[in-house]
């Protein structure tokens, strides 16, 4: 079932023009028409879609076809960045609403249907008179996840993919640290609301993840109350049933997650791929994992990482590169004349072009010292351990970092004033120090009781004594670990220059709330119990047993 093609009106053309100026792309080549479509799936469900067709002069052929699957609607704001900007530059674009969302039939069950629905969309496209014989995929965040689901079984006629800030593994994000990622609750709140007016530009922006925040004080309270699951059930009622399935399956290897994990796509995909991320994105770790896996197999993969949050990394600041990538691999009219890897170096304010990620580095250890110090010299064997207490009823707050909505590079100096946080800070550096890749820590650590989490962050203290975050890691402690050996934790990749005069700071805490569900200090389920026990964390430093290891760039 299809509608009639509708020509772009003046208001849409104006929005397209202003939006293109904002994202920094070149002039339009043409106008376009939009046609409403219903796409049948194998089980009889029909997905709502809009087909954008460029109005090219002199019977020119379209530059190629782009397929986009989206669960956030097809209104003005979201369609501009995902479809209209390309249609105005000669591409066909099929913009499809995910099952159970924004006019598409069926029930929305995040991650469970994308693998087969995407194959059905491709099968349907091949039967259309406008199908050019090949297509590319595009879209950020959940739209990128849908691409990985398609690439679980890559169609031969899929020739390229642009995948910004996107996971391939829902389980990894939800429970990969051993603690429940609480942005699953705020995202579920967004996704379980009734459809809003898709004609409104503002409502379209509200449907972009990361701009929704926690939406209401009631949700903030629901996330804070214990037991967590019961509190969320009271808030959600019969909305977002998938959220409670998430809570029931903390084991990432559980069968429940099988249809929501697409590691196999990284083993099967051979098409050119452009990955885009931000150092403060929610899915940075997964994007860099995707890059490494594809690189090891010799896949043609390009990587861009800016100093961006989730929304900033979704394509708003990398549209010129995306256009160049499509020009080479889809339109076949240009060349992607950019390095394989381009990263923004925080602390320096500059971009760096690289042949691979990470570049060559050598490890340098800084040792945790008495009196909250951090230095290159070994502490004595007499150096005393240091400790803090994490109270689940007054949890250490999340400040910036890789949060979905409140993240980014921020002033995190407040951590140094909290009694439930350890900070170790170096003397001012005598010369610039560049790091690339993932720092890691060795911590001779124990907790009482043993049920505890660790949050570790690397920050920089500037000459004004203000601390800003660089990278971090969160991990629920494995009860089976050998406590006689240091605990090794790898922080997320980063690219940073410590300038001379700045100081290196290591931050250690027992939680990061509301980014992660709190460890309650008991052997009971953290999402179903309301019993809490404060946890005393002790870090030993004698003889250099606890250290921060930085991947320092090798001069070329």
Query: Quick one: pLDDT band at residue 2, thresholds 50, 70, 90?
Result: low
**Predicted local distance difference test score (pLDDT) of residue 538:** 97
Indicate if the pLDDT at residue 255 is higher than 90: yes
More confident residue, 404 or 542: 542
**Predicted local distance difference test score (pLDDT) of residue 194:** 63
Cα 222 to Cα 182, 216, 234, 244, 515, distances in angstroms: 11, 10, 8, 14, 14
Q: What is the mean pLDDT of residues 95-117?
A: 97
**Predicted local distance difference test score (pLDDT) of residue 555:** 78
**Predicted local distance difference test score (pLDDT) of residue 198:** 38
Q: Is 261 inside any structural domain?
A: yes
Q: Is 45 inside any structural domain?
A: yes
Pairwise CA distance, residues 181 & 177, whole Å: 8
Q: Is 112 inside any structural domain?
A: yes
Tokens of 206: 């509200």
Same domain, 255 and 369: no
Q: Per residue in 424-457, pLDDT tens?
A: 999 999 999 999 999 999 999 999 999 999 999 9
Pairwise CA distance, residues 378 & 380, whole Å: 6
Q: Per residue in 181-203, pLDDT tens?
A: 999 999 999 999 865 433 333 34
Query: Quick one: pLDDT band at residue 404, thresholds 50, 70, 90?
Result: confident
Q: Give the residue from 147, 199, 198 showing the smallest Cα distance to 168.
A: 147
Q: Is 389 inside any structural domain?
A: yes
Indicate if the pLDDT at residue 317 is higher than 90: yes
Q: Which residues of 150-163 are buried (b: 16+ CB within 10 A; e: fewer)?
A: bbbeebeebbbbbb
Per the prediction, the chain carries an average pLDDT of 94
Same domain, 257 and 377: no
CATH label of the domain that carries residue 103? 3.40.50.1820
CATH label of the domain that carries residue 517? 2.60.120.260
Q: Is 336 inside any structural domain?
A: no
Give me the number of domains the chain comprises.
2
Domain extent for 182: 6-217+249-274
Q: Is 289 inside any structural domain?
A: no
Same domain, 186 and 48: yes
Same domain, 425 and 522: yes
Choose one of 274, 291, 317: the last residue of a domain.
Answer: 274
Q: Please, which residues bridge with residue 265 across strands?
A: none
Query: Quick one: pLDDT band at residue 556, thresholds 50, 70, 90?
Result: low
Give the other-Cβ count within 10 Å of 111's Cβ: 21
Tell me the residue ranges of DSSP E strands in 168-293. Answer: 273-278
Q: Is 238 inside any structural domain?
A: no
Q: What is the mean pLDDT of residues 494-498?
A: 98
Same domain, 270 and 367: no
Q: Is 226 inside any structural domain?
A: no
């Amino acid at each position: 079932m299809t509608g009639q093609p509708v020509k772009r009106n003046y208001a849409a053309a104006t929005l397209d023009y202003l939006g293109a100026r904002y994202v920094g792309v070149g002039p339009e080549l043409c106008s376009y028409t939009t046609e409403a479509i219903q796409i049948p799936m194998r089980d009889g469900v029909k997905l709502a879609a809009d087909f954008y067709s460029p109005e090219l002069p002199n019977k020119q052929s379209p530059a190629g076809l782009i397929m986009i699957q989206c669960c956030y609607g097809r209104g003005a704001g979201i369609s501009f960045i995902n479809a209209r900007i390309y249609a105005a530059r000669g591409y066909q674009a099929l913009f499809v609403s995910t099952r159970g969302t924004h006019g598409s039939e069926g029930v929305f069950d995040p991650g469970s249907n994308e693998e087969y629905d995407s194959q059905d969309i491709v099968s349907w496209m091949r039967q259309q008179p406008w199908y050019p014989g090949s297509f590319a995929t595009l879209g950020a965040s959940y739209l990128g996840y849908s691409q990985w689901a398609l690439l679980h079984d890559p169609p031969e006629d899929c020739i390229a993919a642009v995948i910004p800030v996107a996971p391939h593994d829902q389980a990894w994000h939800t429970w990969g640290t051993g603690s429940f990622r609480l942005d699953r609750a705020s995202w579920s709140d967004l996704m379980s609301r009734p459809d809003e007016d898709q004609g409104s530009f503002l409502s379209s922006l509200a449907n972009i993840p990361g701009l929704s925040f926690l939406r209401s004080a009631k949700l903030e309270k629901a996330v804070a109350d214990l037991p967590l699951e019961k509190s969320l059930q009271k808030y959600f009622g019969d909305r977002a049933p998938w959220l409670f399935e998430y809570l029931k399956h903390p084991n990432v290897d559980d069968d429940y997650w099988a249809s929501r994990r697409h590691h196999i796509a990284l083993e099967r995909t051979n098409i050119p791929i452009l990955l885009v991320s931000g150092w403060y994105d929610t899915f940075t770790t997964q994007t860099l994992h995707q890059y490494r896996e594809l690189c090891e197999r010799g896949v043609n993969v390009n990587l861009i990482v800016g100093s961006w949050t989730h929304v900033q990394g979704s394509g708003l600041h990398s549209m010129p590169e995306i256009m160049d990538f499509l020009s080479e691999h889809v339109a076949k009219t240009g060349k992607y004349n950019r390095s394989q890897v381009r990263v923004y170096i925080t602390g320096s304010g500059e971009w760096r072009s690289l042949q691979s990620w990470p570049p060559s580095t050598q490890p340098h250890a800084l040792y945790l010292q008495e009196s909250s110090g951090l230095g290159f010299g070994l502490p004595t064997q007499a150096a005393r351990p240091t400790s803090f207490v994490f109270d689940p009823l007054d949890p250490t707050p999340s400040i910036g970092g890789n949060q979905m909505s409140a993240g980014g590079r921020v002033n995190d100096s407040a951590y140094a004033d909290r009694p439930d946080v350890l900070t170790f800070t170096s003397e001012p550096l005598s010369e610039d120090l560049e790091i690339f890749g993932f720092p890691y820590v060795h911590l001779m650590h124990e907790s009482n009781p043993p049920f505890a989490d660790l949050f570790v962050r690397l920050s920089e203290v500037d000459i004004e004594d203000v601390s800003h975050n660089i990278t971090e890691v969160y991990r629920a402690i494995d009860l089976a670990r050998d406590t006689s050996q240091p605990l090794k934790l790898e922080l997320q990749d980063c690219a940073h220059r410590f300038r001379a005069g700045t100081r290196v700071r290591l931050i250690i805490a027992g939680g990061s709330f509301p980014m992660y569900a709190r460890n309650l200090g008991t052997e009971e389920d953290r999402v179903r119990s309301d019993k809490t026990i404060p946890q005393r964390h002790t870090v030993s430093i004698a003889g250099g047993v606890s250290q921060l290891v930085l991947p320092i760039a090798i001069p070329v």
